[in-house]
Amino acid sequence: MRKEKIKAIELRKKGNSYAQIGKILNLPKSTLSYWLSEIKLSKDAQDLIDKRSYKKSVEGLIKRNKNQTALALARAVAIRDDAKKEFSNLVGDKLFLTGVNLYWAEGYKKGAYGSKWKSVDFANSDPEMILLMMKFFLKVCKVPLEKIRAQLIAHENVDIESAVKYWSNITGVAEERFIKTSVPVIRKSNNKRKNSNLTYGTLHIRINDVSFFFKMIGWIDGLKEYFKGP
């Protein structure tokens, strides 16, 4: 038996991988596989190989995730920059300008500043404002109605079923596309319930599209830049 094969068997029984043995003996994996495929390993040696394989898999996964995160960040920055640049070409559209202004005031923006959740989310209790924002999303942003979802935030005094129908009629979002209604617990202050006058609660318009979210943020950047100055 070749001395390299004897050494390879010894190394394998100690829990070395084919890659490690090949590096030590300068042998191809195909040769080692032919020599060692029938070798019976002890439990300790197999455990050592399994642990090393698991560690390598985890390290590979972490590396892939880091690469994907870097690519996603680069895409987000590019989308945001492009949207900022195009703002000046769109500012003459009154609905566009109004929509961006309202989203800056009432929309979700934390996803651009560290939060993991990155989705367009506009919330308000004013039906006319909600209707205007729906026109902005549908007509200016060209978001298909089927991509838009809604969620009602309602307190105990609100008739949930009636409120969902009410907002569905205003937005055109089908009732089955409403996310489960959230009913927050309100703390009493001076024996009065806050927001008890919101007959139909507050509506969230949600569009789960990361690219569109960063476009909105870019438009807001453009808005800030465009009107900067004395």
pTM reported for the whole predicted model = 0.67
Q: How far apart are CA 207 and CA 24, in angstroms?
A: 56
Q: Are 124 and 134 in contact (CB under 8 A)?
A: no
- For domain 69-226, is the CATH number 3.30.1330? yes
- The pLDDT tens digits of the residues spanning 207-220 come to 999 999 999 999 99
| Percent of residues, the chain, with pLDDT higher than 70 | 90
* 95 bridge partner residues: none
- The pLDDT tens digits of the residues spanning 34-81 come to 778 878 888 887 878 777 776 777 677 677 776 766 777 788 889 999
Please give the pLDDT value at position 132: 98
Please give the pLDDT value at position 206: 97
Q: Are 151 and 220 in contact (CB under 8 A)?
A: no
Q: How far apart are CA 202 and CA 152, in angstroms?
A: 6
- The pLDDT tens digits of the residues spanning 71-124 come to 777 888 899 999 999 999 999 999 999 999 999 999 999 998 888 899 999 999
| 189 vs 2: which has the higher pLDDT | 2
Where are the chain's structural domains?
A: 3-41, 69-226
Q: How far apart are CA 102 and CA 22, in angstroms?
A: 64
